[in-house]
């Protein structure tokens, strides 16, 4: 079973990749690009969130998204 330690590690990975993507977005002038990058990050985190909820009945979805920097 996955544990809180695993959830934190994945959230940290998503959060760190979010920061790197934001640096790229700052250089991009197309507003659609900004929206697409954010939508991809949210979709990626949501897929993990859904899986983690099946692995641990105590998984806190809201806390995970906040840890990912997507609150």
Domain that holds residue 61: 4-67
Return the axis-axis angle of helices 4-27 and 31-55, rounded to nearest 10°. 170
pLDDT at residue 9, rounded to an integer: 95
Domain count, the chain: 1
The mean predicted confidence, pLDDT, of the chain is 81
Give 59's pLDDT tier (boundaries 50, 70, 90): very high
Output the pLDDT for position 2. Answer: 86
- pTM to 2 decimals? 0.72
> What spatial distance separates the first Cα and last Cα of the chain, rounded to whole Å?
26
**What average pLDDT does this structure show over 14-22?**
65
Radius of gyration of the chain (CA): 13
* 46 vs 25: which has the higher pLDDT: 46
């Amino acid at each position: 079973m996955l544990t809180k330690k695993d959830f934190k590690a994945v959230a940290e990975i998503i959060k760190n990749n979010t920061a790197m993507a934001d640096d790229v977005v700052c250089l991009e002038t197309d507003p659609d690009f900004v929206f697409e990058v954010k939508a991809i990050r949210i979709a990626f985190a949501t897929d993990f969130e859904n899986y983690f909820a099946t692995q641990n009945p105590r998984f806190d979805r809201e806390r995970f998204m906040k840890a990912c920097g997507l609150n």
